[in-house]
Amino acid sequence: MASLAKPAKLLLFPLLLLHLLSFSVALSVGVNYGAFADNLPPPAQVAAFLKDRTFVDRVKLFDANADIIRAFAGTGISLMITVPNGDIPSLASRRSSAPSPAASAWVATNVAPFYPATNISLIAVGNEVVATSDRNLIAHLVPAMRSLSAALAASGFPQIRVSTPHSLGILCASEPPSTGRFRPGYDRVIFAPMLDFHRRTRTPFVVNPYPYFGYTARTLDYALFRPNPGVFDAATGVNYTNMFVAQLDAVHAAMQRLGYGDVEIAVGETGWPSAGDPGQLGVSVEDAVSYNANLIRLVNSGKGTPMMPGRRFETYVFALFNENLKPGPTAERHFGLFNADLSPSYDVGLMRDCDHAPAPSGDSSGWCVATAGASLVELQNNIDYACGSGGADCGAIQNGGACFDPDTLLAHASYAMNAYYQAAGRHDFNCYFGGTGVLTSTDPSYGNCRYQS
């Protein structure tokens, strides 16, 4: 018999597929609204566009720009605004239960004039503060978070959450995910009290996982949610087939070591550029679509991760726009989901008036099947990926299913690969499978076995 994923797992996939087919109804996604550009439309136009034309329901700002905050009034879009790193020491209070005068003043200036007309839902105290290695900022970070939270409550805004985003540099170990732990010296002194604050206030621990900054030629498919052999975690028995999920579980493992595995995790930034320097590996429109479309699908699926099953993750994709003044490599100016004229950089299903499941560039009624030359190992890897983290409904190739016979890896892999291809958006690259998939305009269905189309 051809080897398949366990039946207990497969029973979940029809429900997941049903969710994906109703993607436009349940979709929730945030974006990072940066403004390092000289050609962007005015904030009011941006806010109206996001409200009327897209499924974006959350926006994260890297500051507390009054013009932008005001522009989102009446849209219902949730806003995360940010306290500059330099303001952190002044916000901290010596009394953990009382706000500092600076924290009260910050709320009076940056929140009170706009809320509730603008739905400010979270305030980020700084950005990647631990990564600065500034001891003064780091020492005052948790006291500033407590002080700002107290100031919000005292001002009549207890429902506005407080957090701070972290790079994954906060971890000293992350591979495999079960080894995840915070950097020595920061774990008990900084992160334990911070996580205690999050537990008490029921606010998320915000991290910025970026597979883009951690991939190599060998791990590119692993980073882009594409079929790959995966990374096996011997301690948990889990084979991770995408880096994003592995990074989240590494953070969770670190939190769990300190006794705070129950605290929610939110994703403050993650994304993939659509253009880069000449010859740069893994940077193209297709690569950006692969990462961001699969990311959005995952965080909305309710599937969670191996260590956090059933969770959804409040997520902010980086970035809203291609920002033409950002310094550095070409890729830094091409993370945007949208161009400055508000046209999509590519389609990941965010537009309300567009089909969120675009057809491949060939025959719109095509199917994806395995090539005859694929090895048995490659076919099994494709089944494991498609029926596992790929989220395909593989019930038909289970024993007794309509497509179980013929009981061969080639037949089962073809069905699984097509199921994944159809559910993932029907882009050409969804049928790549490391060169072992091919698109066909001939329906491979037979007898009672019907291939999805």
Q: Which residues contact 383 (CB under 8 A, 6 or more apart)?
A: 2, 3, 4, 5, 394, 409, 412, 413, 416
Choice among 128, 314, 323, 378 that is catalytic:
128
Q: Would you call 199 exposed, middle or buried from its count of C-beta atoms within 10 A (0-12, 13-18, 19+)?
A: middle
Answer yes or no: 269 catalytic: yes
Distance (Å, whole) CA 148 – CA 197: 12
- Contact at 8 Å (CB) between 437 and 417? yes
Which runs of E-coded beta strand occur in 4-101?
Answer: 29-33, 56-61, 78-83
Using the Cα atoms of residue 134, residue 138, residue 139 and residue 145 in order, give the sign of their dihedral.
positive
User: What is the number of other CB atoms lying within 10 angstroms of the CB of residue 45?
Assistant: 12
Cα–Cα distances in angstroms (integers) from residue 99 to residues 108, 122, 152, 166, 406, in the given order: 12, 17, 9, 24, 69
Residue 8, SS3 per DSSP = helix
| Cβ-count burial 70-107 (b if 16+ within 10 Å, e if not) | ebbbebebbbbbbbebebbbbbbbeeeeebbebbbebb
Q: Would you call 283 exposed, middle or buried from its count of C-beta atoms within 10 A (0-12, 13-18, 19+)?
A: buried
Choice among 269, 314, 323, 378 that is catalytic:
269
Question: Running DSSP on this structure, what letter comes out for residue 255?
Answer: H
Distance (Å, whole) CA 367 – CA 293: 20
Answer yes or no: 264 catalytic: no
Closest CA to 331 of 319, 340, 343, 349: 319
Structure-block tokens of residue 151: 């100031």
Closest CA to 294 of 420, 413, 438: 420
Query: Within 13 Å and on the Cβ side, how many CA atoms surround 156?
Result: 6
- Contact at 8 Å (CB) between 35 and 323? yes
Query: Within 13 Å and on the Cβ side, how many CA atoms surround 70?
Result: 6
Distance (Å, whole) CA 258 – CA 254: 7
- Contact at 8 Å (CB) between 243 and 222? yes
Catalytic residues: 128, 269
